[in-house]
Structure 1
Amino acid sequence: MRTAEELLAEIAAMKQHDLPVRGGQVTAYVYDTGRPEVHEAAALAYFEMLEVNTLDPTAFPSVVEMEKQVVGEVAAVLGGGYGIFTSGGTESIMLAVKAARDKAGRARPNMVVPVTAHPAFHKAAHYLGLEVRAVPVDLETFKVAAADVRERIDGETVLVVASAPSYPQGVVDPVAEVAAVAAAAGVPCHVDACVGGWLLPWLREAGAEVPPFDLSVPGVTSISCDLHKFGYAPKGASVVLFADPAMRRKAYFAAAAWPGYTVINATVQSSKSAGPLGGAWATLRMLGHEGYRELGRDTLEAARRLREGLAAIPGLRVLGDPAGSLIAFTSTEIDVFVLADEARARGWFIQPQLSYAGIPANLHITVTGATLKGVDAMLQVIAESAEAARERGPAQVPDGLVEMVAELDLEALGDREFGDLAAAVGVDLGGGGQPGMAAVNTILDALPAAKREEILVRFLAVIYT
């Protein structure tokens, strides 16, 4: 039998090329308070609830009490409602879509979403059999217009979506106007506040102008809020709130047509650990409203300095007017994908975003509570990386490769051949470390969305084989 120390050493070896989860040098995927004692308390509570199964709340009443407290705290901040604790934003969104679909009972249901809405809505539509009607956004503000939403609603529409904020450019859609249009058509309106739900209220208290976006807005019928983002809880922790308890019941699933144990699920998953619930509960208790207010003030100040600093770097331009925590910037003079590689080589991960629907390729930064201490260092790295990218020029892609990939029948291509194709643009799918991705992103950026998706599916299949 192996010892715990041996296993931990083996894990450490596997993690040697991982991006760091603390310190603020990774500007996506992780959320850091900069307060180690908070994360340690959450880890202890997570471990305490690790083996508790949320499948049967009558067997483990601690789950019911803990979830009621967590959901109640979120509801108290976001306009009331009736909630469910979920594993993340995608599951929260999935349940909101299911509830809207089941309530409407349409034969050919559709939902109306801005092009900037999270792909979780497309995933929910794919799983649940809905049509997605995408609405373009203004290419200066990156917000959806209520009038454009109205045009796409018909008798089969079961849900309208707005974001607070949308992830790509960090702007808040005009929630009140969109919700009013939905209400006038008799259609539920979901606000995706997975990113902003547990941040915008604290930014408002810190003096930021934050428009109404939660369940207090007339016409908003559900809202999703991730606690593992700006709630700083361990993954995965999210809450979906419904204004109407009858709508929450539509999110549930029950099965009695079998001879086994009673099945009633509030979430997509059945058996699951209560660890994330314990971690979220502890994080909320550790920080309290005052802790979140302080983190909100730090986030707001870091975002302000970051926007101003980016604007001062030659060739860079911030997109839109971010609400505070999410900032995207682009350039017509510098290849942003090369800039991202240069920053990665300097120890900083800045998230590339491909062009879509008239929005240019850009780089995305998520500002967290830990960003303020390192904002000057981040700006220095971005400035150095921008200059290096300017000197390098655009990513080099072999002539004709984009056209060849566009015409390629990927289903006829074996995994080995796909790996060879990736190697031709400098990506070793079997290697470790942090790869340069500029050439790959350049190729993906030149392809239509459907072909991008095909390639991404093959990429995932190969790296896990």
Structure 2
Amino acid sequence: MTALPDRGVPAEQVLAELGALRGRDLPTHGGRLFAYVYDAAVPGLDQLTASAYALAAHVNGLDPTAFPSLLAMENDLVAAAAQVTSGAEAAAGVVGNVTSGGTESLLLAVKAARDAHPDLATPRLVVPASAHAAFAKAAQYLRVALDVVEIDPATLLPDPAAMAAAITADTVLVACSAPAYPYGVIDPVAEIAAVAADAGVRCHVDACFGGWLLPYLRRLGRPIPPFGFELPGVTSVSVDLHKYAYAPKGVSVLLHRDASLRRPQYFGFAGWPGYPLLNATVASTRSGGPVAGAWATLRHLGDDGYLRLAERTWSAVTGLAAAVSTVDGLRLLAEPQTSVVVFTCTDPDPYVLADQLAARGWHTQPQLPYPPLPASIHLSVTAAVADQVAEFGPALHDAVAAARAAPIQVPPELAAAVADLDPATLGPETMAGLAAAAGFGPDGLPESMAIVNTLLATLPPERRAALLVEFLSLLQTPAHRPA
């Protein structure tokens, strides 16, 4: 099959082929995938957002004067995100932009902070170790030095005093999370924002993961501390609408306290013969489809709808946590505070358990060890999970028993080959051989991830990343195509 046949293919056949390609994907609906997708389980929502997406798919966000509908929808989404995260009073004067996702929002927050200090030869960014890896990506892309503050292994939180100590004269931004993705705990935002303000440094709150959900959990009685612009030291906030606002991929919002703080985020160039290029985000041309889908989602669900979805999500969280707590050998790494259930295993091996759960239709996200913290299994819980909780407990017990009966066995020669890897000489042929030895099929996908994760856990982070980059490069070649 080719994307460009000699003769065009009928529409019905094209759609059938697309359906076949999707056949091996993980299920995006049904409440059994605990990563990557966010399912509200609201009847008719998919159809609504698909229709809204189609209405604006060919609208171009490059020029808001040409397409005022997109400008109106983006401004509506910014206003809604500011009000939800910070409250109506604190949201006054807040400005922002819609981006393609949390990574772009964080990248732009770092860019705005960096470009506000053109005098610094080496601008620096201070983050907790639990901050999203997108900050490291932003630092690499933008050539900003990254200063990482370790978290307390008991509380999983950064110490505000340690964050303050990491601030130097070259620091342009301090970041914290509400909540941090790995463990679902909320950083001490008020204290961190205060030390940043005392140092005269911007403070960004990464609320991409839970910023839309936390205020609704607070309204349901959960002890959620403030994390938005109601805190004087907070200068910017990011919140993804394609997570707990249940909008289509990819829509995030980056908010700034005022327009002066946002200004360095923009790019403008008129020094060429063509049209003056003005961009608020990384991309120039942007489809209006995701924005329209998000706008339709918010309009359809409404504030009351989001409160109900938050209630269902929290019910699912407590049910899953209770199920984990009943199994010997499993331990919650943190009492659930938001929408995350994360646990570790003394017995069985967590990677084997993740495989056994997947074999039973429950797709989790294994997290590699971060010493002194152990390997863990992460569950991002959505409203759709509420209807599945009763089935999860028995499936977990069954998966644990199966994992104990079939522990992981890594071939010694494979373990030795990985241990001796030199990232500088790692190429496609070597990577292809390692993938085959690890059980990857001809389509490039493994039958089991337990061996892969076990091998990755033995490597230091830099070598682990190099191996994964080479593997991704192996997958992303035109000669390679999954069956």
Q: Same fold (TM over 0.5)?
A: yes
Structure 2 match to 1:452: 464
Q: What pairs with 1:46-195 in structure 2 (closer than 5 Å)?
A: 46-79=53-86, 80=91, 81-105=94-118, 106-195=120-209
Distance 2:313 2:355 in 1: 25
Superposed CA offset, 1:349-388 (max 9, x none): 1111101142210111011011111012122222211111
Structure 2 match to 1:33: 40
Aligned residue for 1:248, secondary structure, equals helix
- Does residue 428 of structure 1 match 2:435? no
Superposed CA offset, 1:323-344 (max 9, x none): 2201111011210000011111
Once the two structures are TM-superposed, the CA of residue 403 in structure 1 deviates from its matched residue by 4.5
Distance 1:167 1:431 in 2: 28
**Residue number among 361, 370, 373 corresponding to 1:347 in the alignment:** 361
- AA of the residue aligned to 2:354: A
Aligned residue for 1:209, secondary structure, equals coil
Structure 2 match to 1:20: 27
8 Å CA contact 2:318–2:336 kept in 1: the answer is: no
8 Å CA contact 2:333–2:342 kept in 1: the answer is: yes
8 Å CA contact 1:164–1:197 kept in 2: the answer is: yes
Once the two structures are TM-superposed, the CA of residue 298 in structure 1 deviates from its matched residue by 0.6
- Does residue 314 of structure 1 match 2:318? no
- AA of the residue aligned to 1:450: E
Structure 2 match to 1:370: 384
- AA of the residue aligned to 1:449: P
Q: Which moved more, 1:143-152 or 1:374-383?
A: 374-383
8 Å CA contact 2:105–2:253 kept in 1: the answer is: yes
Structure 2 match to 1:440: 452
Q: Which moved more, 1:98-107 or 1:447-456?
A: 98-107
- AA of the residue aligned to 2:476: Y
Give 5+ residue unaligned stretches, structure 2: 1-7, 478-483
Structure 2 match to 1:404: 417
Distance 1:400 1:213 in 2: 50
Once the two structures are TM-superposed, the CA of residue 297 in structure 1 deviates from its matched residue by 0.5
Distance 2:229 2:415 in 1: 46
Structure 1 match to 2:432: 419
Question: Pairwise CA RMSD of aligned residues?
Answer: 1.3
- CA, structure 1 residues 218+403, in 2 after alignment: closer, same or farther (shift >3 Å)? farther
Once the two structures are TM-superposed, the CA of residue 140 in structure 1 deviates from its matched residue by 1.4
Tell me the matched-pair count.
Answer: 463
Distance 1:464 1:387 in 2: 37
**Residue number among 13, 16, 23 corresponding to 1:6 in the alignment:** 13
Aligned residue for 2:59, secondary structure, equals coil
Structure 2 match to 1:258: 272
Superposed CA offset, 1:161-194 (max 9, x none): 1100001010000000111111111111100000
Structure 1 match to 2:481: none
Structure 2 match to 1:223: 237
8 Å CA contact 1:78–1:216 kept in 2: the answer is: no
- AA of the residue aligned to 2:66: A
8 Å CA contact 1:227–1:239 kept in 2: the answer is: yes
Superposed CA offset, 1:388-421 (max 9, x none): 111212x211225444323322443442331111
Superposed CA offset, 1:187-212 (max 9, x none): 11100000111000111111111011
Once the two structures are TM-superposed, the CA of residue 160 in structure 1 deviates from its matched residue by 0.6
Once the two structures are TM-superposed, the CA of residue 73 in structure 1 deviates from its matched residue by 0.9
8 Å CA contact 1:100–1:158 kept in 2: the answer is: yes
- AA of the residue aligned to 1:266: A
Structure 2 match to 1:286: 300
Superposed CA offset, 1:110-141 (max 9, x none): 11101110010000000001111111111111
Distance 1:344 1:253 in 2: 45
- AA of the residue aligned to 2:175: V
Q: Which moved more, 1:287-296 or 1:373-382?
A: 373-382
Q: Which moved more, 1:134-143 or 1:416-425?
A: 416-425
Q: Which moved more, 1:202-211 or 1:378-387?
A: 378-387
Superposed CA offset, 1:62-96 (max 9, x none): 11111111111111122212111000000000110
| Stretches (4+) displaced over 3 A | 400-404
Q: TM-score, normalising length from structure 1? A: 0.97
Distance 2:453 2:442 in 1: 15
8 Å CA contact 1:51–1:275 kept in 2: the answer is: yes
Distance 2:378 2:292 in 1: 31
Distance 2:444 2:359 in 1: 17
Superposed CA offset, 1:229-251 (max 9, x none): 00100000000100121111111
Aligned residue for 1:167, secondary structure, equals coil
